[in-house]
Structure 1
Amino acid sequence: MDEDIENQAKEAAETNALFNALKHDSEAQVGAIMGPLMGQNPEFREYGDQIAGVIAPVVEEVNGMSQKERRERLAELAPERLEALEAEDEEDEQALPKLPNAEEYDQVRMRMAPNPNGPWHLGSARMPAVIGTYKDIYDGWMLCRFDDTDPETKRPDLDAYDEILEAVEYLGFEPDKILKASDRLETYYEHARDLIEKGGAYTCSCPQAEFSEQKNAGEACPHRDKDIQTVKEEFERLVDGEYGDGEMVLRVKTDIEHKNPALRDFVAFRVIETPHPRAEATEYRCWPMLDFQSGIDDHLTGVTHIIRGIDLQDSAKKQRFVYDYFGWEYPEVVHWGHVNIDEYDISMSTSTIKELVDTGKLDGWDDPRAPTIASLRRRGIRGEAIVDAMVELGTSSSNVDLAMSAVYSENRERIDDETDRAFFVRDDPEHGGGAVEKSIEGGPDAGKPRVHPEHEDRGQRNIPAKGGVLLEESDLPPTGNRVWLKGYGCVEHTESGFKFVDASLDVTREENVDIVHWVSATDTQPVKMRTPEGDISGVAEPGLSTYDTDEMVQFERVGFARIDKQSEDETVVYFAHR
């Protein structure tokens, strides 16, 4: 390759790598910048098989920079690219579109409607994140209504009511009102009676398969034209529990020839023999279907805007039939797509997670492997970080992808400046190898790394080195080579151990001497780190034992972690992210 082309490729690669790393707040990848690089520079294409090798060291150098250094370097090389990036950041701050016709209402009133069949998985956070943010934007009102009218298929978990409210609080929001649908059966019955009086509902005893066949053929059920008095009497017997499961339902009368069979005379009430777990609702056997219950409650609580999944479009259409009978105005509706979340091997499903917890395959809902809000909270992820990452997804009707790196990036911004640093040497063959002990000839008695590299006023840590040091096996240089023990100095690896070398920090840059973390061989604190990939054992500097539960530390070159438990024998931490 021509030398000029090679230099041009390196310069272009550095610009693209800087832009890529800043945009995504992560390390740049050779593969990710190859496309833009070749597209912007057609003259590189004939050297396509060589370019990757030329730019790889450049990308590696960019990945070794801090975000501040990357920004400063991009300002030198291509200030217009930095301006474009900052403009994108400003646009991203406006991720949520305006609510439809919000100006026509005295107050924007929205609702969350969780099913309390278990604590929330991570995907559940999207609803309170977006609705809570809209509430703040419009100075609106927010309801949390527990849709718990299915005591069998989606059986409520009595603990989940409080756990969900705690999750909402953790995310940074507080509902203006809290309702349980299972407290409101009499309200639904009264509206069903009114609907019957208006000729909008009828009792049906057709077997389900028989009714489906008639419905799909566009043929009316033989019970559709019952007189209102008979319907009223049969509904009261339905409410009184005189019918068994499947013997009688109440249907909303719609259009039996509607082009969508799902909307033809849908069920409003049915019998469920399984008692509700809440003592206040255990006597009821006649339960409303969600579309009926939810529609009634949305009107009675004055909801102006509903956000629901694109897969629930039929719900709005069903509820409009009921609203038309009562002469009510239907709320504004925003339908959004499903959110897909990367990183987890476990399905984002309450029933799946519950089964794994019940069978002992997960330690609990806050197991670091679980894709749950409780897990992220225990790992030290702040609720605002989840909210901001969810809000960035907007309300598109298309399916969207949430990268956990976005949550981690948001969290890192919030905790980096206030979080103390510490050294943790992993001693776990299953996760990267064991720790290696080395004596040191000469040099100081202890290392004095800063508590925080950017805050000299916070002081220094004291890590004894006189009795030898421990470092991770992968950081041990070949015999005869040097390594820089962070906060201590330069040492040379000899046949007998380490020998202190009086050198300046410049050797790490000018002579490529690696900087590594380490701990004392004689004064350490045992650590168990719980991570999404499994537990990791190791030892940390002695000062770790002084931190309180819930405090965060950053293990340098490893990542952020939350102190979960302290004892004389061991510190247990939960890994947050790098």
Structure 2
Amino acid sequence: MDSELRERVERAARTHALLNAVKYESDADVGAVMGPLMGENPDFREHADEIPGVVGGVVADVNALSPEERRAELEELAPAELAEIEAEDEGDEHPLPDLPNVDDDVGVVMRAAPNPNGPWHLGHARMPAVIGTYKERYDGRFICRFDDTDPETKRPDLDAYDAILDAIEFLGFDPDVVIRASDRLETYYDHARKLIDRDGAYTCSCPQGEFSDLKNAGEACPHREKDAATTREEFEAMVDGEYSAGEMVLRVRTDITHKNPALRDWVAFRMIDRPHPRSEAADYRCWPMLDFQSGVDDHLTGVTHIIRGIDLQDSAKRQRFVYDYFDWEYPEVIHWGHVQVDAYDVTLSTSTIKELIDAGELDGWDDPRAPTLASLQRRGIRGEAIVDAMIELGTSTSNVELSMSAIYANNRDLIDDDANRYFFVRSGEAVPVEGGPDAGHPPVHPEHEERGRRDVPVPGAVRIEPADVPAEGERVWLKGFGCVRHVDGRFEYAGDDITAVREEGVPVIHWVPAEGGVPLRLRTMDGDVTGVAEPEISDAAVDDVVQFERVGFARIDGETDGETVAYYTHE
């Protein structure tokens, strides 16, 4: 990388690092800077191997600034962007707008409608976060409805039902009602019969390609003018399983010349030969399409407001034809854009994650490399931190990017006060120690003296990280122990006068005893890291979130094959 390009990278990275730090009132995150940096500067991409190192240095410089210094510099570099951040800060108290047309007599009823084809990834958290928040605001009702009426293309995973309910609980919400659509086939059949009697549907045996050609030409298929009695008879044969997949469908009669071909006589029911994995639904072969099933359920359960992706606008338009036949009032609809999440190499896709697990590239849904709620929970990230970050995204129709640094900042505020401190040395190097006390006594928590101090023994030598080994003759401060000087491959005790740190700039480092430490495996998004922790880590219980000083927060997961296992949370 030549000097001119490096200067451009540093300048752009500094602006984005300052924006990230000021917006989230926390340290900047390299991952959050890399996304917009590379997106706005396509010519940087051919230097993708070198740029993270440059960005890392810039981020470190920005993080060394005080909040006041960051804001002042950002005002010089990007005054318009700073003004936008300040306008957001001065905006409405809550980032979620009020729901439209709320009827005080009816109240607010909203639903999350997951397809249980696997546990939830991070993007799924947005819906329950927003619905749960609106429920609390309006004292409304939260319905969880499993849309599991596709036993073939999006085949349900029997373990996913409970996993999704566990995820909702992890986020801090408790649905008022839980429904499985596969339990309600008879209800959908009854409404199909009523629709047929109202001349709103007809059975069709056209091959799919043939019907598609007719539809796109705005021409009716030969079955469209069937009388209700014939349609009813053929639909009952569908219900009885007398047709195979592809032989017969039930179509909603709409407008065959509608300007949007996707709305022309759409399929309400089709035949599926593959049995549903739930034993209660395994005998059914005639299954409703999602737009029919969901539309009927929204009405019958009293849903007043629906949130769905902007790409699903046609769903509301299709369902309105059914609602018009039944003289039902359609719920209010809010469309929003997709959520994109930084910091992960794995796509936010249930099927993709499942493929990686099946191929052995991920250990499971809670692998720290997986962008799933189970993974975040195992890493020690609280549901509240995720919900707060999701709420901040609002309900814009534009696609939005969720920065993991926002979740980490929220979580840090929640866990920092409770997290006891410990030392953990990665790839440590043993150095003999001459002189000084027999043990170091760093505080359990620097802001809670009442928790006392730890005892970290010094059995003649300490283990430190290779990067912390000072040059010959230089000093370092072993936290909780004192100052030592590096002389001929050993440390000589140099006293405990803290002015060496405060006035002379002697670096403070963490350490563990060379013998008697606890082997520890730290599972991270970048793979496992092994090392040694101080002996008192044995006092930490499973599920405790601790802070390994100068490394980051981690959740204690247990012990395996003689070593403590912890999952890295964040810095």
TM-score scaled to structure 2, two decimals? 0.88
Structure-2 change in CA distance of 1:83 and 1:417 (3 Å): farther
Shift of 1:29: 8.9
Q: Aligned letter for 1:510?
A: E
Cα RMSD over matched residues?
2.8
SS in 1 for 2:262: helix
Specify the code of the residue in structure 2 equivalent to 1:385: A
Contact kept, 8 Å, 1:15 with 1:74, in 2: the verdict is: no
Residue 256 in structure 1 maps to residue 256 in structure 2: yes
Q: Which moved more, 1:229-238 or 1:22-31?
A: 22-31
- Report the Cα offset of residue 376 of structure 1: 0.5
Q: Does the 8 A contact of 2:25 with 2:67 survive in 1?
A: no
Consecutive unaligned residues of structure 2, counting only runs of 5 or more, are 1-13, 34-55, 76-80
1:19 Cα deviation after fit: 8.1
Inter-CA distance 374–28: structure 2 relative to 1 (3 Å threshold): closer
Measure, in 2, the Cα distance between the counterparts of 1:339 and 1:524: 43
Aligned to 1:156: 156
Quick one: structure 1 residues 249 and 468, their matched pair in 2 at CA, closer, same or farther if it must change by over 3 Å? same
**Which residues in structure 2 correspond to 1:384-423 (within 5 Å)?**
384-423=384-423
| Partner in structure 2 of residue 266 of structure 1 | 266
CA distance in 2 between counterparts of 1:420 and 1:197 reads 68
Query: Per-residue displacement from partner, 1:59-107 (whole Å, max 9, x unpaired)?
Result: 8566246xxx6469989x99xx999978744647511111111245521
- Deviation (angstroms), 1:452: 0.6
Shift in Å at residue 404 of structure 1?
0.8
Separation (CA, whole Å) in 2 of partners of 1:29 and 1:140: 37
Q: Sort the Cα spacing of 1:20 and 1:124 in 2 relative to 1 into closer, same or farther, 3 A.
A: closer
- Distance of 2:559 and 2:92 partners within structure 1: 41
8 Å contact from structure 1 (residues 485, 516) kept in 2: yes
* Structure 1 pair 72–136 and aligned structure 2 pair: CA distance change class (3 A): farther
Query: What is the SS of the residue equivalent to 1:391?
Result: helix
What's the counterpart of residue 454 of structure 1? 447
Partner SS for 2:364:
coil
Q: State the aligned residue count.
A: 532
5+ long unaligned stretches in structure 1: 1-13, 33-55, 428-434
Paired with 1:243 and 1:576, the residues of 2 have a C-alpha distance of: 53
- Which residue is equivalent to 1:37? none
Equivalent residue number for residue 340 of structure 2 = 340
- Secondary structure of 1:192 counterpart: helix
1:497 is aligned to 490
2:96 equivalent in structure 1: 96
Which whole-Å CA distance do the structure 2 matches of 1:295 and 1:120 have between them?
A: 23
Matched, 1:444 2:437: yes
Q: Deviations over 1:34-60 (max 9, x none)?
A: xxxxxxxxxxxxxxxxxxxxxx99985
Q: Which residue of 2 aligns with 1:383?
A: 383
The CA distance in 1 between the partners of 2:486 and 2:19, in whole Å, is: 38
Q: State the secondary structure of the residue aligned to 1:439.
A: strand
Deviation at 1:570, TM superposition (A): 1.3
Deviations 1:540-569 (A, max 9, x none): 000001111101110011100000013682
Partner of 1:47: none
Q: Structure 1 CA distance, aligned partners of 2:552 and 2:152? A: 44
1:339 corresponds to which letter in structure 2?
V
- Hey, what does 2:214 align to over in structure 1? 214
Is 1:135 the counterpart of 2:128? The answer is no
- Which residue pairs with 1:326 in the alignment? 326
Distance (whole Å) between structure 2 residues aligned to residue 367 and residue 567 of structure 1: 16
Q: CA deviation at 1:436?
A: 1.1
Distance 1:319 1:272, change over 3 A: same
Q: Is the 1:62–1:70 contact (alpha carbons within 8 Å) kept by the matching residues of 2?
A: no
Aligned residue in 2 for 1:552: 545
Note the 1:179-198 alignment, pairs <5 A. 179-198=179-198
Give the match for residue 6 of structure 1: none
Contact 2:146 2:181 (C-alpha < 8 Å) held by counterparts:
yes
Q: Deviations over 1:172-209 (max 9, x none)?
A: 00010011000000000000000001010000010000
Write the distance in 1 (CA, Å) between the matches of 2:420 and 2:283.
56
Q: 2:569 aligns with which of 558, 572, 576?
A: 576
Separation in structure 2 between the aligned mates of residue 18 and residue 340 of structure 1, nearest angstrom: 21
What's the CA shift string for 1:312-351, capped at 9, x where partnerless?
0000000000000000000000000000011111111111
SS at match of 2:450: helix
Match of 2:503 in 1: 510
Alpha carbons of 1:360 and 1:92: their partners in 2 closer, same or farther (altered >3 Å)?
Answer: farther
Residue 481 (structure 2) pairs with residue 481 (structure 1): no
Residues 29 and 405 of structure 2 are in contact (CA less than 8 Å); yes or no, is this contact kept in structure 1?
no
Deviations 1:149-180 (A, max 9, x none): 00000011111111110110010000100110
Aligned to 2:40: none
Shift of 1:409: 0.8
Matched to 2:551, the amino acid is: V
Q: Equivalent residue of 2:145, what SS?
A: strand
Q: Which residue of 2 aligns with 1:309?
A: 309
Q: Quick one: which amino acid aligns to residue 436 of structure 2?
A: G
Decide whether aligned partners of structure 1 residues 278 and 568 sit closer, same or farther in structure 2, where only a CA change above 3 A counts: closer
Q: 2:467 matched to 1:470?
A: no
1:277 and 2:270 are equivalent in the alignment: no
Per-residue deviation, residues 433-487 of structure 1 (Å, max 9, x unmatched): xx11111121121111100111111110111124211100011111111111111
Aligned to 1:122: 122
CA contact (8 A) 2:481 2:496 kept: no
Distance 1:62 1:465, change over 3 A: farther
The one-letter code sitting in structure 1 at the alignment partner of 2:450 is D
Q: Go from structure 1 to structure 2 and tell me whether the alpha carbon gap of 1:175 and 1:393 turns closer, same or farther (over 3 Å shift).
A: same
User: Is contact 2:241-2:285 (8 Å) kept?
Assistant: yes
SS of 1:368's equivalent in the other structure is coil
In the alignment, the residues of structure 2 paired with residue 408 and residue 16 of structure 1 have an alpha-carbon distance, to the nearest angstrom, of 18
Residues 545 and 566 in structure 1, CA contact (< 8 A), matched pair in contact too: no
Alpha-carbon distance in structure 2 between the residues aligned to 1:381 and 1:400: 22
Q: CA deviation at 1:298?
A: 0.2
Answer yes or no: is 1:373 the counterpart of 2:354. no
Map residues 518-557 of structure 1 onto 2, 5 A cutoff: 518-557=511-550
Rounded to whole Å, the distance in 2 between the matches of 1:62 and 1:361 is 36
Residues 201 and 251 of structure 2 are in contact (CA less than 8 Å); yes or no, is this contact kept in structure 1? Answer: yes
Alignment match, 1:51 = none
